[in-house]
Amino acid sequence: MTLLASALPLETPAAFLGVSHSATGRLWRDRLDARGAARALAIAQRYQLPEMLARVLAGRDVELEAVEDFLDPTIRKLMPDPHTITQMEAAATRIAEAAISGEKVAIFGDYDVDGATSAALLAWHLRHCGLDPLIHIPDRIFEGYGPNVEAVRMLAGKGATLLVTVDCGSTSLEPVAEARRLGMSVVIIDHHQCGEELPEADALVNPNRLDDLSGLGHLAAVGLVLVTLVAVNRELRARDFWTSELPEPDLLGMLHHVALGTVADVAPLIGLNRAFVAKGLIAMRRRDHVGHTALMDVSRLNGPPEAWHLGFMLGPRINAGGRIGRADLGVRLLLEGDVSEAARIAAELDRLNTERRVIEQMAEAQAEAEALASLGLEDKGSVIVTASEGWHPGVVGLVASRLKEKFSRPAFAIALEPGGIGTGSGRSIGGVDLGKAVRQAVKGGLLMKGGGHAMAAGVTLRKDALAEFRAYMESALAHDVAQSRHVNELFIDGAVSARAVTPELVSTLNRAGPFGSGNPEPVMALPSHQLVYADEVGQAHLRVRFKSGDGALVNGIAFRSIGQKLGNALVANRGQPLHVAGSLAVDRWQGTERVQLRVLDVAVPDQGPPVIR
């Protein structure tokens, strides 16, 4: 396994711990090159920080002068003037006018967590202004994504004079035209990629539209709604709307919503997003919001919430309503003020989430078999496109995500309806823009509709176009996929022994959080630790324990590893020394705290001479 220095080009750094081909086929790299290591040393010395925290900061390209701001990201410093976003002034003015005039406003959201939190945040603000907004979350199966003409007509029939779409609407040409024809004003607040042709709305606030120069394209929709409401508050302040009887609402008090939607939508935790999540987590820890508290309770969340809890525990339960239940359950929970009713809604979402897992596992097994057959023994193919009748449309995004993780390439899962129409989702890998390819497929007539981000996309197509769509995606993405998969690396932030793995170390590393997309969790390596225990637990997980040379133990878990390369390697090496790589988290159980290693990869140590790093 050791890649000897003499065999490497001079400019190529040596593999971390000599691991050039791990159990999962990855090359381990030190996240810091020589320049990064020098910066880490300078950070540690200037700010008197622990060496490992300094290494983590340097590994995330935090410059020496920016350390203090990174460790305490504040919304005040990072919030831009909202008017830097194209058409924001028009959007804020129109929403403010509706508040002043007491208009009937209709909010049209999306059925995912970002859509639910966006709709809840906007509805909360309008209610504070004295309005009673209509809220419509489309049914995933019967209506599909985004505004539709029938729903627009329904909302107009209920007296709505202003339609505000959140987390959708940027490609809804016909529904927006219909709303305007019916006399409604339309404001779109969205973050999905746009084409050149835009709906003729009164205002289309989207930092990803081609003529926007704000640099805020990383915001989730809920973050964008908050920025919009900052502009609305300013407009209403200028018009003397706020009084002692009706004070200006505290937007920062609603950061629970922004944190949840941002993390669940896998928006990069950089800049303003990172501040939103950092401060939103503090708000959630106060447990003063009825809906969020009910959600945390039903998720059996022990201890203070962290960013990964939002993505893996709270978010999926909100999503379950839109996937296989009532699409509006998430919004209703987030707007509910009664504790017992919130508990009832949260329990229903929890039940739906359990049901969703069963449905997902069945579809995932079928999709995996289809993917293996299409790739063949030679593992050929750049993109996986699976489709089947009988799959629930609400779980195809999750199935696509699992396929992407397992096969390390972009993947689609498509649910085929009896009428010959398929609706599906795609998930991508770094460096491969899926949304762009899907929009081109729509333009070329291969898809009935489609769109999304670089990393995720949705599609609707006819069954007879499936083979052509598969061939198109293969040719369109082959080059980028090959480039992305060429170097399969795991970046390591530092090496520690089991004795050093303590709650204090985790607390120290967490100062660089919150972690997620764009700000990856630190990955620690444990060199040559004996695997003294490995046993299956839960649904395809392995619980493990490692021992260092001085006898110290650390507990770990390898999620979803049974039957995978990582799980197979762990089972085969019981009792043997292994290099281990993973991230650290505090596991709270019955009032006690202990650190758990989330195992990402392992490698059998070389018996040859060590590589000098």
pLDDT score for 8: 38
Say if CB 272 and CB 323 are below 8 A apart.
no
Residue linked to tokens 């089972």: 571
Q: What is the pLDDT of residue 375?
A: 87
Looking at the domain that runs over 5-31+491-603, which CATH code has it been given? 2.40.50.460
Q: Which helix (H) or strand (E) holds 525?
A: strand 524-537
pLDDT at 162 over 60: yes
Predicted local distance difference test score (pLDDT) of residue 6: 36
pLDDT of 145 reads 84
Cα 321 from Cα 350, distance rounded (Å): 9
pLDDT (average), residues 465-470: 95
Nearest residue to 82 (alpha-carbon basis) of 190, 207, 259, 188 = 207
All structural domains of the chain with their residue ranges: 5-31+491-603, 77-350, 376-487
Nearest CA to 509 out of 595, 590, 599 is that of 595
CB-based contact 52:496 (threshold 8 Å): yes
Which pLDDT does position 592 carry in this prediction?
78
CATH number of 77-350: 3.90.1640.30
Task: Supply the pLDDT for residue 468.
Answer: 96
pTM: 0.90
Structure tokens at 324: 């296989």
104 pLDDT band, cuts 50/70/90, is: very high
| pLDDT digits 0-9 by tens, 257-312 | 999 999 999 899 999 999 999 999 999 999 999 999 999 999 999 789 999 999 99
Distance separating alpha carbons of residues 295 and 278, to the nearest angstrom: 19
Per the model's pLDDT, the better-predicted residue between 597 and 606 turns out to be: 597
pLDDT reported for residue 23: 95
Q: Is the pLDDT of residue 103 over 90?
A: yes
Alpha carbon of 313 to those of 292, 353, 592, 596: distances in Å?
12, 10, 21, 17
Per-residue model confidence (pLDDT) at position 12: 52
Q: What DSSP assignment string belongs to 467-483?
A: HHHHHHHHHHHHHHHHH
For the chain, percent of residues with pLDDT exceeding 90: 84
pLDDT value at position 63? Answer: 96
The percent of residues in the chain predicted with pLDDT above 70, rounded, is 96
The CATH code of domain 376-487 reads 3.10.310.30
Burial class (CB in 10 A: 0-12, 13-18, 19+), 337: exposed
C-beta separation of 543 from 535 below 8 A = yes
The string of pLDDT tens digits covering residues 9-22 is 434 568 999 999 99
Q: How far is the C-alpha of 567 from the C-alpha of 153, rounded, in Å?
A: 53
What does the pLDDT read at residue 608? 44
Name the strand (E) or helix (H) holding 521: none
- Two tokens, residue 294: 């009910």
Complete DSSP assignment for 86-121? TTHHHHHHHHHHHHHHT--EEEE--SSHHHHHHHHH
pLDDT (tens digit, 9 = 90+) per residue, 331-389? 999 999 999 999 999 999 999 999 999 999 999 999 999 999 988 877 789 999 999 99
pLDDT at 76: 93
The pLDDT value recorded for residue 609 is 39
Q: What is the mean pLDDT of residues 119-123?
A: 98
Is the CB of residue 315 less than 8 Å from the CB of residue 263? yes
pLDDT at position 610 over 70: no
In which band, very low, low, confident or very high, does the pLDDT at 454 lie, cut at 50, 70 and 90?
confident
pLDDT bin (cut points 50, 70, 90) of residue 154 is very high
pLDDT (average), residues 471-484: 93
H helices of 431-465, in order, are: 434-443
217: Cα within 13 Å, side-chain hemisphere: 12
Q: Two tokens at 48?
A: 């008197």
User: How long, in residues, is the chain?
Assistant: 613
Instruction: Report the SS3 class of residue 31.
Output: coil
pLDDT band at 612 (very low <50, low <70, confident <90, very high): very low
